[in-house]
Amino acid sequence: MTYCVGLCLKDGLVFLSDTRTNAGVDQIGTFRKMSLFQKDKDRFFTLMSAGNLAITQAVKEILLQGQLLNGKNLWNVESTHDAAVVIGDAIKQVYDRDHKALEKAGIDFNCNLIFGGQIKGERPRLFNIYSAGNFIEATPETCYFQIGESKYGKPILDRVISFDTPLNLATKCALISMDSTLNSNISVGLPLDLMVYEKNSLQASKLVTMD
C-alpha cells in the first residue's frame, strides 16, 4: 500500500508521496513513487504511482524511454492533457502484454497514477489516471487527488484546501494529511518525497526528501 496526494492550486501544484511498498513483520520494502520529467524551460511533469509495483514500474519505463505511442510521447505532446493520454496508452500497452499472465497467477491489474505539470503557454494541470488508461482532471471545485491509503488524510484536506489556498499553507496541509496516515497505517512509511511546483517556473525548484 502507499499514500500519494496531489493538489492543483491557483499558484501551482503540490505533490507528496511515501515510499513504502511492503510492510510485513520481518520485511519492509521501499521504492520511490514519484518520478519527474522535464525539458529545458518547455515542460515539467510529475508522476506518482500506487498499485502493483511491477506494473507501475513498467509504465514509467515506457515513459522514460520516450517510446512513441500513437506517434506521441511526453516530450512532443502539445498539452498536458495529451501527456495524460500518452500515459493512459502506456498503461494499455502494459495491460495488453501482461494481463493474461497476471490473471493466470490470480493477480489483479492494479495501477493508479497522479500526474500533473505544465507545458509552456498553458496553465498547470493535474490528472488522476486509472488502471484502464482513462482519467479525470482536477478542477477549481475538486482541486486535489489521493491514491492509495487515502481515508486517514482526507479530512484535513477537505477542511482547509481550496483552489485559492496559498502554496505554503497547502504544503503544510499535505504534510499533516501524510502524518495522519503514517500514524494510522503501517503500510505507509518514510521517507517522503515532496515536490512544490510554482506556476510558470517549469523546473523542480522545490523538491525535498524527508526521512
Average pLDDT over residues 86-105: 97
Whether the per-residue pLDDT at 23 is higher than 70: the answer is: no
Q: How far apart are CA 199 and CA 211, in angstroms?
A: 27
* Strand order, beta sheet including 34-39: 34-39, 43-51, 111-119, 125-129, 135-137
More confident residue, 28 or 191: 191
Tell me what pLDDT residue 21 has. Answer: 81
Element of type H or E holding 34: strand 34-39
Closest CA to 13 of 112, 142, 128, 143: 143
User: 142 pLDDT band (50/70/90 cuts)?
Assistant: very high
* Radius of gyration over every alpha carbon of the chain, rounded to an integer in angstroms: 16
Tell me if residue 48 falls in helix, strand or coil. Answer: strand
Q: In angstroms, what CA-CA distances link 81 with 59, 73, 97, 137?
A: 17, 12, 25, 9
Domain count, the chain: 1
CATH of the domain at 172: 3.60.20.10
> 121: Cβ–Cβ under 8 A, 6 or more apart, which residues?
none
Sign of CA dihedral 161, 190, 13, 54: negative
Q: How far apart are CA 177 and CA 169, in angstroms?
A: 12
For all residues of the chain together, what is the average pLDDT?
Answer: 95
Locus of grid cell 491509503 = 149
Give yes or no for a contact between 143 and 8, defined as CB atoms under 8 angstroms apart. yes
Give yes or no for a contact between 173 and 16, defined as CB atoms under 8 angstroms apart. no
Q: What is the DSSP string of 107-163?
A: ----EEEEEEEEETTS--EEEEE-TTS-EEE--SSS-EEEEES-TTTHHHHHHH--T
Instruction: State pLDDT tens for residues 187-208.
Output: 899 999 999 999 999 999 899 9
Domain holding 116, by residue range, is 3-210
Instruction: State pLDDT tens for residues 53-94.
Output: 999 999 999 999 999 999 999 999 999 999 999 999 999 999
pTM: 0.96
User: 51 pLDDT band (50/70/90 cuts)?
Assistant: very high
